[in-house]
């Protein structure tokens, strides 16, 4: 598999509108609008930073994964996403190497990217997202 770069950092926030005050208002990152991914019960907003992006994640449901994360750990970095050239190939290789996968097959995330999560038990405690964009 080929890991191309850190695609984005996923940061769980209580409110994207409030989060924007820092990321956009103070750091000056460009806010490019938000998008709701109903299947993951989340609203996301991307802020490009050079070759990578910051992704703010706000839960749309009290039982969503981002709401549960904030309940346990508070706001903060929730996942790190790596861009890969071919996500199906990467998942097959990781599975072969005994890495625990949350998603055995990719699903469609924000911006139409193909994404899949790896289990933190296999990654030093970090929720890792793989992401392929065309
Ligand atoms: Zn992400």
Which CATH number do you get for residue 122? Answer: 3.10.180.10
Compute the distance from residue 96 Cα to the ligand 1 centre, in Å.
24
Residue-level pLDDT at 16: 97
Residue-level pLDDT at 33: 87
| Cβ neighbourhood burial of 110 (10 Å; 0-12, 13-18, 19+) | buried
Residue 32 belongs to what domain range? Answer: 3-132
For 13, 50, 71, the CA distances from 66, given in Å and listed in that order, are 8, 26, 9
Q: Are 81 and 6 in contact (CB under 8 A)?
A: yes
Answer whether residue 39 shows pLDDT above 90. no
Compute the distance from residue 9 Cα to the ligand 1 centre, in Å.
7
Residues 99-116: pLDDT tens digits? 999 999 999 988 889 999
Average confidence (pLDDT) over 48-63: 96
Share of the chain above pLDDT 70, in %: 100
Which strands, in side-by-side order, build the sheet including 107-108? 34-37, 42-49, 52-59, 3-12, 76-84, 128-132, 114-118, 107-108
How many independent structural domains does the chain possess? 1
Compute the distance from residue 13 Cα to the ligand 1 centre, in Å.
13
Compute the distance from residue 119 Cα to the ligand 1 centre, in Å.
14
Answer whether residue 9 shows pLDDT above 90. yes
What is the C-alpha to C-alpha distance for residues 123 and 7, in angstroms, rounded to an integer?
Answer: 17
Per the prediction, the chain carries an average pLDDT of 96
Residue 84's pLDDT band, with cuts at 50, 70 and 90, is very high
Buried b (16+ CB within 10 A) or exposed e, 40-77: bbbbbbbbeeeeebbbbbbbeeeebbbbebbeeeebee
What is the C-alpha to C-alpha distance for residues 127 and 134, in angstroms, rounded to an integer?
Answer: 23
3-class secondary-structure state, position 79: strand
């Amino acid at each position: 598999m080929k890991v191309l770069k850190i695609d984005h950092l996923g940061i769980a926030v209580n409110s994207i509108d409030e989060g924007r005050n820092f990321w956009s208002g103070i750091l000056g990152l460009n806010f490019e609008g938000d998008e709701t991914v109903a299947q993951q019960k989340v609203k996301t907003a991307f802020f490009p930073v050079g070759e990578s992006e910051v992704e703010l994640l706000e839960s749309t449901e009290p039982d969503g994964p981002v709401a549960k994360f904030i309940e346990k750990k508070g706001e903060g970095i929730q996942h790190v996403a790596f861009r890969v050239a071919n996500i199906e190939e990467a998942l097959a290789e990781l599975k072969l190497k005994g890495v625990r996968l949350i998603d055995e097959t990719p699903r469609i995330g924000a911006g139409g990217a193909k994404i899949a999560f790896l289990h933190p038990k296999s990654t030093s405690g970090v929720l890792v997202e793989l992401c392929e964009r065309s």
